[in-house]
Structure 1
């Protein structure tokens, strides 16, 4: 139950920070994707099912507030969380480089599929422009923020694990 409350609060806090605070400090007109960092981090630390649920609920929240079509963001975050959850077997408590790489790869995949669904299907074919203008700057900004946010999420996960071990 504690873990569910922590996950819910984490989703809400990251969503509010992403949509309210980082809007004012956008660099190159892009913002870091905090919800993607959250989904990738917990999917890497906890596994497929956690990544799937966090991805779905993060995506559905973005869909409800910002989406044109309900389900697009939910599907993207859900799939990213699920597939990154397979990397849980490589999880090491002291490794900080692998999750940062997963965040970068996930952000590229997210940006690529977002381009396909939002631009390519509408006839906008200039992928290289979109890649230079939006995908690469967002990857750089998201990876920079994920260095700090992952450490915080890792600490939260370790405390939750310690409390669960004490109770058991």
Structure 2
């Protein structure tokens, strides 16, 4: 069963998460890794509201990131939109109310997003400032883990806000 979510609500959350990402998140780095709240929202909306909402959320989040980024314009828009769409398409295959499943999915899709970002950036710019192994072990895996751990607190809040059932009580 799909619930409805307003665009205004999504855009408001994305704007608030962008402000958090630019201000507060730098202060909670662990081993130079920080969670990606905007990516977390893209995964949440794709997982619980389907591919079209995931795509739109990813596109909007990516556009916001690209506007404020020194990265190649469009990389974030493309990779977050693809991530949101992919999460939404695959979401019926998962028991998404389980927190363990949520964490695993956030970790997997964070890896997917960051790997896609690295690959697209490498193809477009032809210049890489960091080796793939350094990027993978120094940034992708730690940031994906951190983002998945943060999902344990953010997903239940969002599920409650959008009246999505939580069937698993012990986690």
Over aligned residue pairs, what C-alpha RMSD do you find? 2.2
2:2 is equivalent to residue 12 of structure 1 = no
Shift of 1:117: 3.4
Cα offsets for 1:62-103 (capped at 9, x unmatched): 000114322110100000000100133246574222222221
For 1:130 and 1:2, the matched residues in 2 are separated by 35
Change (3 A) 1:5 1:91: farther
Contact 2:95/2:101, CA 8 A, preserved across alignment:
no
Contact 1:44/1:84, CA 8 A, preserved across alignment:
yes
Structure 1 unaligned residues grouped into runs of 5+: 162-168
**Richer in helix (by share):** 1
TM-score (norm 1): 0.85
Shift of 1:7: 0.8
TM-score (norm 2): 0.83
Counterpart of 1:74 (choices 68, 73, 77) is: 77
Query: How many matched pairs?
Result: 160
SS of 1:28's equivalent?
Answer: coil
For 1:30 and 1:154, the matched residues in 2 are separated by 26
**Could you say which residue in structure 1 is the equivalent of 2:168?**
none
